[in-house]
Structure formats: structure tokens, C-alpha cells
């Protein structure tokens, strides 16, 4: 069996660490509710990717080949959902005294990656580029799942903390609405890039 572990880890870190819909959601959540309050959401986002890694590893791609139209439709529905979330972010305003009653929790985080086109492209790329044909399905899937989760455990909190730090600087200033619109715009741009730019 053969899996290119080091190249896979570099690929995973570059994909998990760069801007995309999930990281923009983490940044915005940290900015709106603070780092500590956002941690359940962070945990959900990290574990949510497992909900698509394992089905892909155990045959979802075969179904995609059999019904490409279904998967194309799901891709655009997911993108539309993330763009709708971006619109909500654009209209949020930071409030250091705000409570955490409405903070997205663990369950909300679980949905982010299954609805994230970048996550699907990243996982498919991991299977096709770094796994040898002689590797068992279980070994390949477990390896990709572990490598991606390790990267997420390190990098997702960093994005969330960055949002928290940025918010403490701009909350209540004239820059605040521009920050939220920028976060929303980056989220939309990342989705459109994955859909139409061929990126991962």
C-alpha cells in the first residue's frame, strides 16, 4: 500500500489554512462572539469534514460518476447557502457586550464543510493525488481523515482567534461595517473561485 504522507500533509495544511468559506465563517464567528464562545462551533467545523471524508472514501465518488447531475445541483445549492450566510455576516455588527445566546454551536459547525464546495474538492483531490491504487479503502480514508483533522485542530482556532482580535480593534468604529462587508465579500469570492475558477 502507498500513501504519500508528507505531500498529503503539505497539501492539507495549504488547503485548510488558506481563505475559504469555512475559514471565513470561523473568522466572522470569532469576530462576532469572541474566541471562547465560538469554540463549540470550531469543534463542529473540524469534525464536520469527517462527515464527507468517509462517504467519499467508501464509494460516494462512484455515485457521483453515475449521477453527475445530482452532484452538480448539490454543489450549487451548497454554494447558495454559504452565500446566504455571507449576507447575514455582512449585516452583523460587533458588540463586545453582546451575549452568546445566538452564537452558532457545535451542530451548526457540523454543517459547514458538508455544504462547502472547497471541502469536497479538497477531499477528492486528496484521494486522487496522494493515494496509490494498491492502498486499501480503510487505510486511505483513515489516513486522509487523520491528516485533515490534525491540520484543522491547529489552523481553525487560529482563524477564529484572528476574528476575535480584529473585532476588539474595530468594534464600534467607522471601520466596523467595512470589516463585516469585507468578510462577507471574501466568503462569496472563495465560493465563486471554487465553482468557476477550478481551485480547491
Q: Kindly give the confidence (pLDDT) of every residue in the chain, 200 residues in length, as a single tens digit, with 9 standing for 90 and above.
A: 588 888 889 888 888 887 778 888 898 889 888 899 999 999 999 999 999 999 888 886 566 567 667 656 766 776 676 677 777 767 766 655 555 557 889 999 999 988 887 788 788 878 877 888 778 888 889 999 999 999 999 999 999 999 889 888 887 778 878 877 887 777 677 667 656 655 44
| pLDDT given at position 99 | 52
Cell of 65: 460518476
Q: Could you report the per-residue pLDDT of 142-167, keeping only the tens digit for each?
A: 999 999 999 999 999 999 999 889 88
Q: Give residue 134's pLDDT.
A: 79
Q: Are 83 and 188 in contact (CB under 8 A)?
A: yes
Measured CA to CA, the distance from residue 20 to residue 187 in angstroms comes to: 6
> Which of 10, 16, 13, 24 has the alpha carbon at shortest distance from 190?
24
Contact residues for 76 (Cβ-Cβ < 8 A; gap 6+) = 195
Q: How many residues does the chain have?
A: 200
pLDDT at 199: 44
Amino acid at each position: 500500500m502507498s500513501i504519500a504522507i508528507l505531500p498529503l500533509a503539505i497539501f492539507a495544511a495549504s488547503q485548510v489554512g488558506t481563505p475559504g468559506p469555512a475559514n471565513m465563517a470561523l473568522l466572522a464567528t470569532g469576530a462576532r462572539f469572541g474566541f471562547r464562545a465560538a469554540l463549540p462551533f470550531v469543534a463542529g467545523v473540524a469534525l464536520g469534514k469527517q462527515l464527507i471524508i468517509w462517504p467519499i472514501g467508501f464509494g460516494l465518488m462512484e455515485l457521483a460518476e453515475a449521477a453527475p447531475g445530482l452532484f452538480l445541483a448539490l454543489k450549487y445549492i451548497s454554494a447558495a447557502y454559504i452565500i446566504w450566510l455571507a449576507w447575514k455576516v455582512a449585516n452583523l455588527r460587533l458588540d463586545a457586550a453582546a451575549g452568546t445566546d445566538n452564537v452558532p454551536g457545535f451542530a451548526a459547525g457540523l454543517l459547514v464543510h458538508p455544504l462547502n464546495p472547497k471541502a469536497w474538492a479538497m477531499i477528492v483531490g486528496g484521494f486522487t493525488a496522494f493515494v496509490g491504487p494498491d492502498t486499501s479503502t480503510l487505510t486511505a480514508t483513515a489516513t486522509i481523515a487523520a491528516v485533515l483533522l490534525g491540520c484543522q485542530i491547529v489552523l481553525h482556532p487560529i482563524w477564529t482567534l484572528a476574528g476575535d482580535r480584529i473585532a476588539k480593534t474595530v468594534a464600534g468604529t467607522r471601520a466596523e461595517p467595512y470589516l463585516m462587508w469585507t468578510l462577507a465579500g471574501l466568503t462569496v469570492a472563495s465560493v465563486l473561485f471554487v465553482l468557476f475558477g477550478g481551485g480547491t
